[in-house]
Amino acid sequence: MTFVMSAPLVEFRNVSFAYEEEIVLRDVSLTVARGQVVAIMGGSGSGKTTLLKLIGGQIRPDSGEVLVDGENVGNLGERDLYRLRRKLGMLFQFGALFTDLSVFDNVAFPLRERTNLPESMIRDLVLMKLQAVGLRGAARLMPAELSGGMARRVALARAIALDPRVMLYDEPFTGLDPISLATTGKLIRELNDALGTASIVVTHDVAESLALVDYIYFLADGVVVAQGSPDEVRASEHPFVRQFINAEPDGPVPFHKPAAPYAADLGLEAANG
Amino acid sequence: MVNVLVNLFSRIGAPLTRGIVKLGFACRFFIAILRHSPVSLVRFRLTMREIWFAGVLSVLIIVVSGLFVGMVLALQGYETLVRFGASSSLGVLVALSLVRELGPVVGALLFASRAGSAITAEIGLMKATEQLAAMEMMAVNPVARVVAPRFWGGVISMPLLAAMFSAMGIFGGYLIGVQLLGLDEGSFWSQMQAAVDFRLDVMNGVIKSAFFGVAVSLIAVFEGYDAPPTAEGVSGATTRTVVTSALVILALDFVLTAFMFRGV
Amino acid sequence: MKRGMIDFWVGLFAVAGAAALLFLALKVSSQSTLAVNQSYELVANFDNIGGLKVRAPIKSAGVVVGRVNAIELDPQRYVARVHMAMDARYQYSRDSSAEILTSGLLGEQYIGITPGADDKMLKSGDTFKITSSAIVLEQLISRFLFSKAEGGNKDSTEAGK
Ligand SMILES: Nc1ncnc2c1ncn2[C@@H]1O[C@H](COP(=O)(O)OP(=O)(O)O)[C@@H](O)[C@H]1O
Ligand SMILES: [Mg+2]
């Protein structure tokens, strides 16, 4: 991929964020350009979803700036935020389809809510988006009748309904069988290249993302510990990256949660005796 | 001594503070609902679906309960009235009890447990499965699109359901009093009509049920929206909706009754 | 649930609710308070109103012609001042009288009006000249017993002579 590095579509400048006392992100900086697919990798609870929420403006950074298409998300009022969100599409971890609407109505939802298009045109657009994810035949089904992989693809069709400029994927591979997983990965890449978006994929699936993405950030305890292209990552000697890629149980990410010495906990050392 | 006091205050203080914070959030939420209400009234179809969900689906339990409550009232009332030779006032007793108190109050209690809990569960699940977050990311305000229609659906349904409850109850009273116990049908209805005042009794009952409708609907949507996004969180919120609604209905009923029938 | 079905059921629900309200309005209750533009106010003072309540009916020859609007105590003369909303269709001469009556032995109390013969009519805000107070049962009984006792005494003294 040789894209001219124009102004990045998404940029984090020294962003920190905490829920009450718990610091989730610490001085995070990253950039995503148009046409790029970028992966954010890290263990559970490392702050990946939080990072996506910052882009969508659902939460605001405590310090630093989050820029989307040149606008500082943290400073926008409600109205401007809603305007900005039209440029974003997000795929939630388990699809987050509206359970009381059919597949067709789910995909039509953003079109009906955000545009004044006539129903006939909405119909065409919905079928087009469903065709793109290969599920035009499922238009009449209800979400409860879909498998996990299909639900994820319908959600993807819904996310791209308004032709977003930035796509956000929250763990799109979790809980999918190998075939659905490969299908989803292929779709993410194809959609990104066809629509000319910038994509951010939050994941801990190493193999799939190394094949898929242009650049990778490793997140641990809210800090970017390593970054690079897939080739650089494969060649990396960074202990955290090695542990992550080779799926080793112990390393910089310890197997044991910090605790008092085991023996003391069991009362073997008669400490207070 | 000072320590004991500090301890006491922090013991009571924490839940109290949490309660006040929650109440404040509920007030803010109520204002947000009102501010985002035009959508649910302009696009009335959204509210329509919620009237179906909260109102139509509650009709059966309301109608059946109303019938039985009226029949029991008539049986019990007859026992007492007949001792004073006043059994012809049975219709009055049944109608006044239902129209003033039981229709609005029992109707609202049933509404809270049938529709209120369902609304809480629905919104809570939408939150737990990130449907609300997804909506927000699509630049659609969940308060306008999900919460306000459910609120208005409940507010519109409640007085209609309470009226149905009272009407069915009076019919039940008629079945027992006239058909079973053999009271004179003419005096049953005419005494009732002479003693029950439309404005003071019927309209005040309707006003009561409108207040209850606002209270129960607000509690239901709020608890759903505020629920922790987990399975236990949602089930806990559902229970809280029923319990809080019941308490608020009874307290509100006392205040409204004292206010409406003062000096009569 | 199809849209059409929801519309149908919600429509039916609205009709059923309206029918219930109509039933309560027409069959169960009556409009006992008169609208302001169809009524005029008369006042009557009573030494004792007994158990008369606001909203009690005003009857003339057994027909309801008004309602008690308000009851207050006149702080100068210590009499009860009763305000009545009268149906504008019925007028009463100035020498009509108002009395507090009881329906049945223990029933509710109401005001009965006996029309007079004067050709001047009472106007809105006027006061009845002739009234008679409620019969308070306790007083009645004690008076009865008292007189009985007195009569009894007389009998016994006569017998003793
Ligand atoms: N709404 C919240 N309130 C408080 N803490 C939260 C909230 N959401 C997430 N957290 C905490 O923030 C940390 C990061 O969460 P998250 O970004 O969801 O992690 P990830 O998506 O990488 O698994 C976790 O420790 C989590 O407990
Ligand atoms: Mg996450």
In a domain, C150, yes or no: no
Which amino acid residue places its CA nearest to atom 25 of ligand 1? A45
Residues C73 and C56 in one domain: yes
> Following CA atoms A260, A262, A264, A269 in sequence, which dihedral angle do they give, to the nearest 10 degrees?
-150
Helices and strands: H and E segment counts in chain C: 2, 7
Mark whether C132 and C54 lie in a shared domain.
yes
- Domain co-membership, C129 together with C95: yes
The rounded Å distance from CA A22 to ligand 1 centre is 9
| Residue B97: predicted pLDDT | 95
State yes or no: pLDDT of A169 exceeds 60.
yes
What residue in A sits closest to B53 (Cα-Cα)?
A: A100
pLDDT, residue B238, reads 96
- Which residues span the domain enclosing A205? 8-232
Which tokens in the block code for residue C139?
């007083």
- CB A58 to CB B137 under 8 A? yes
Q: pLDDT below 50 — which residues of chain C?
A: 158-161
pLDDT value of residue A1: 45
* C154 within some domain: no
Clarify whether residues C1 and C48 are in a common domain. no
B245 alpha carbon to ligand 1 midpoint, in Å?
32
**Chain C residues within an 8 Å CB radius of B168:** 20
The ligand minimizing its distance to the Cα of A40 is: 1
Q: Do C30 and B194 touch (CB under 8 A)?
A: yes
Pocket lining: A47 vs ligand 1, CB cutoff 6 Å: yes
A50 within ligand 1 shell (Cβ under 6 A):
yes
pLDDT of residue C43: 92
- Greater confidence, A219 or C2? A219
Q: Give the residue whose CA is nearest to atom 10 of ligand 1.
A: A19
- In the block, which residue shows the tokens 């012809």? B88
Shortest CA gap B263–chain C (Å): 8
Which residues neighbour A122 within 8 Å (Cβ) at sequence distance 6 or greater?
A: A108, A111, A112, A115
Beta-sheet strands, E only, within chain A: 10-19, 22-32, 37-41, 63-68, 71-72, 88-91, 166-170, 198-203, 215-220, 223-228
Chain A partners (3+ C-beta pairs within 8 A): B
Compute the 3-state secondary structure of chain C and give helix, strand, coil in percent, each to the nearest 5: 35, 30, 35
pLDDT at A207: 80
CB B183 within 8 A of CB B90: yes
Ligand 1 mutation target, pool A15, A25, A50, A219, most atoms within 8 A of CB: A50
B264–C contact, CB cutoff 8 A: yes
Report yes or no on C155 lying in a domain. no
Phi-psi region of C78 (alpha: psi -120 to 50; beta: other; left: phi over 0): left
Q: Are C17 and C48 within one domain?
A: no
What average pLDDT does this structure show over A231-257?
78
Copy the structure tokens of residue C135: 């019969």
At residue C125, the pLDDT reads 87
Q: Give the closest residue to B137 by CA, choosing from A153, A68, A186.
A: A68
Closest partner residue to C28 (CB to CB) among B55, B59, B196 is B196
Residue A212 confidence (pLDDT) above 50 = yes
For residue range B148-202, list pLDDT tens digits in order: 999 999 999 999 999 999 999 999 999 999 999 999 998 899 889 888 988 889 9
Contact across the interface for C13 and B160, Cβ inside 8 Å: yes
Q: Kindly state whether residue A1 falls inside one of the protein's structural domains.
A: no
Asked whether residue C72 falls in the same domain as residue C128, the answer is yes
Average pLDDT over residues B22-33: 92
Could you tell me the distance, in angstroms and rounded to a whole number, from the CA of residue A167 to the centre of ligand 1?
21
- Pick A258 or A17 by higher pLDDT: A17
- Cβ A13 vs Cβ A38: under 8 Å: no
Of the residues C26, C27, C29, the best mutation for testing chain B's interface (the one with the most B CB atoms within 10 Å of its CB) is C29
Q: Does residue A272 register a pLDDT over 80? A: no
Q: Which of C105, C53, C102 is nearest to B84 (CA)?
A: C105
Would you say residue A71 lies in a domain? Answer: yes
Answer whether residue A156 is part of any domain: yes
Structure confidence at residue C33 (pLDDT): 63
Tell me if residue B239 falls in helix, strand or coil.
helix
Q: Average pLDDT, stretch A12-22?
A: 89
Task: Please indicate, yes or no, whether residues C50 and C4 belong to a single structural domain of this protein.
Answer: no
Residue B218's pLDDT is what? 96
What's the confidence (pLDDT) of residue C106? 64
Report the nearest-CA residue for atom 2 of ligand 1. Answer: A19
Is the CA virtual torsion A259, A262, A266, A270 positive or negative? negative
Residue C113 lies in a domain: yes
**Average pLDDT value for chain A:** 86
Q: Return the structure tokens found at C125.
A: 């805000």
Distance CA B29, CA B217 (A): 12
Quote the number of domains for chain A: 1
Rounded distance between C-alpha atoms, residue C51 and residue C108, angstroms? 8
A58: Cβ below 6 Å to ligand 1? no
Give C 15-34 residues with CB within 8 A of chain B: 16-21, 23-25, 27-33
Atom of ligand 1 at shortest distance to CA of A222?
14
How far is Cα B192 from Cα B194, in angstroms, rounded to an integer? 5
Indicate which CATH number applies to the domain containing A65.
3.40.50.300
Residues C2 and C64 in one domain: no
**B206 Cβ under 8 Å from any chain C Cβ:** yes
**Is the residue at A132 inside a domain?**
yes
Nearest CA in chain B to A110: B138
Atom 20 of ligand 1, residue of closest alpha carbon: A45
Instruction: Indicate yes or no: CB of B133 within 8 angstroms of CB of A58.
Output: yes
B119: nearest Cα among B138, B96, B147, B80: B147
**Within-domain flag for A251:** no
Mean pLDDT is highest, among A181-190, B46-55, C136-145, for B46-55
Torsion of CA A166, A156, B225, B230, to 10 degrees: -110
CA A260 to chain centre: 36
> Alpha-carbon Rg of chain C, whole angstroms?
25
pLDDT score recorded for residue B228? 93
C63 — contact with chain B (CB < 8 Å)? no
**B254 pLDDT tier (thresholds 50, 70, 90):** very high
- Enter the pTM of the model: 0.81
The DSSP H or E segment spanning C65 is strand C63-74
Task: Write down the pLDDT at residue A273.
Answer: 42
Greater model confidence, B17 or A271: B17
In a domain, C23, yes or no: yes
Residue C93: domain span:
36-141
Quote the pLDDT of residue B72.
96
DSSP sequence for B25-93? HHHHHHHHHHHTHHHHHHSHHHHHHHHHHHTGGGHHHHHHHHHHHHHHHHHHHHHHHHHTT-GGGHHHH
Distance from CA of A124 to the nearest CA of B (A): 20
> Counting beta carbons within 10 angstroms of the beta carbon of residue A68, is it exposed (0 to 12), middle (13 to 18) or buried (19 or more)?
buried
Contact between A181 and A213 (Cβ < 8 Å): no
- B209-236: per-residue pLDDT in tens? 999 999 999 999 999 999 999 999 999 9
**Does pLDDT of B23 surpass 50?**
yes
Q: In Å, how far from its chain's centre is CA B158?
A: 6
